[in-house]
Amino acid sequence: MFFHIFINKLKILLKNKSMIFWTLFFPLALATFFYLAFSNIDSNEKFTEIDIAIVDNEQFQNNVDFKHLMASLSNEENIFNTDYVNIDVAKKLLEDNRIKGYILVEDEINVYIKENGISQTIIKSVIDNFYQINSAVNHIFIEKQEITNIILADLNQNYFNDISNDKISSTVTYFYTLIGMVCLYGGFFGVNALNESESNLSKRAARLNVSPIHKLKFLLISLLVAFIIQYMETLILLSYVVYILKVDFGNQILPIIILTANGTIAGISFGAIVGLSNKGSENTKTGILVSVTMLLSFLAGMMIGDIKYLIEKNIPLLAKINPVNMITDALYSLYYYNNLDKYFSNLFSLIIFSFIMITVSYIILRRKKYDSI
């Protein structure tokens, strides 16, 4: 009996074109769209340059390689916004916090800073790298531009992945919310599962309820099938985004897999509630589901990244109870933070969200007869 229902449900759902479109092909198309639209923006998007000063003395002018490096990092790569000044002005600028640090070339190249921070670390790292390369390649021929490139590569690798709020590629956030959205689209299957088992919602459910099959057993099998399909679809999207579009999701595969599984459960249970919320047709309900999910994704920053921060600042509660936001945040924290605290707190919120949805559905579902069908 279990297999009979399981196999048939699987077949029925996989053949449902509109459902598979919404839960698989639409998100894939959206991912592709994001990729095409935002990969441009991202390369144009300016990294907030680090303000520095260089003491423009004789030694600096004589160190041709360094002079070229700083010029290209300032003018072409826009990593530094550099003022060439005398020592007194440099000190004054640092004093007034108008620069993060200044560089003084004497026998050695020294960096003067007031406080420690990521920008200061970057300045120092550039100087350190320059020293290393210079000593290593002292005797071989190396082009000036080559030094710049090596240093840039190193900066990209070590820092630009790591500087919260500075060089965070906002594109990544769009893909995170997309994963959140597709998890919630599990709701399509949740709506369907309820429609197929509540006799006041569909004729086929009435047929089921006059059969000797226990309604809750049937529903559990339907939800299991729903989970399997939606989870596979989420993983397909994730693979597409990570391996084909090459969007960076970090290396923590297992937490991502656990998170999306929980997200899928949250989505399906959310769909169950939408399914039970009114007596409209399945189309009406999926309409509601799509709108609500889109709204939640929008609020989590899917179309305009800044919305996410606006909501978090002004209506923090809304950000806290928004499951798309929970998924986005968890993915985000996996990528940007070294510890898993934030990840776990979001995962936990997601579990609570699902638990509430499932409990409420169960209470409504225990009804066995209806006043009207």
Partner 1 sequence: MKNVIEVKKLNKKYKNLQAVQDLSFEVKEKEILGLLGPNGSGKTTTINCLLSLLNFDSGSINILGKEMTPDAYDIKSKIGVVFQDVAVFEELTVIENITYFCGLYIKDKKIRNRYVEEAIDLVGLNDFKDFYPKKLSGGLLRRLNIACGIAHKPSIIFLDEPTVAVDPQSRNNILEGIKKLNKEGATIIYTTHYMEEVEILCDRIIILDKGIIIASGTSKELKELTSIEEKVTIEIDDLKQEIIEEFKKLKNVENVSYDSKLLYITYKKGKDNLINLIEFMKTKKIKYNKFFSELPTLNDVFLELTGKELRD
Binding residues for partner 1, per CB under 8 A?
Answer: 1, 4-5, 8, 11-13, 15-16, 199, 202-204, 206-214, 368-373
Spatial CA neighbour of 190 closest among 220, 213, 215:
220
As measured in angstroms, the least distance from the Cβ of 243 to partner 1 is: 31
Whichever of 87 and 213 has its CB closer to partner 1, that residue is 213
25 vs 370, beta carbon nearer partner 1 = 370
- CA 321-185-312 angle, to 5 degrees, is 25
Residue type, 192: N
What minimum distance in Å lies between the beta carbon of 227 and partner 1?
Answer: 19
Residue 284: HSE in the Cβ half-sphere, 13 Å Cα cutoff: 9
Nearer of residues 210 and 317 to partner 1, judged by Cβ: 210
Nearer CB in complex with partner 1: 167/285: 285
Is there a contact between 168 and 160 (Cβ–Cβ < 8 Å)?
Answer: no
CB of 216 to partner 1, least distance (A): 11
Given the complex with partner 1, which of 2 and 309 has the nearer CB atom?
2
Tell me how far apart the alpha carbons of residues 131 and 109 are, in angstroms, rounded to a whole number. 9
Task: Show the tokens assigned to 76.
Answer: 């072409």
Separation CA 72–CA 68 (nearest Å): 6
Q: Give least dist CB 40 to partner 1, A.
A: 41
Taking phi over 0 as left and psi of -120 to 50 as alpha, with beta for the rest, 81 belongs to beta
Nearer to partner 1, 11 or 92 (CB): 11
| Residue 369, helix vs strand vs coil | coil
> Which tokens in the block code for residue 19?
């459902």
Q: Where are the beta strands (DSSP E) in 48-173?
A: 50-55, 80-85, 101-105, 109-113
DSSP string, 296-335: HHHHTTSS-HHHHHHHHHH-HHHHHH-HHHHHHHHHHHHH
Nearest CA to 185 among 222, 228, 242, 230?
230
Tokens 């004729």 locate to: 203
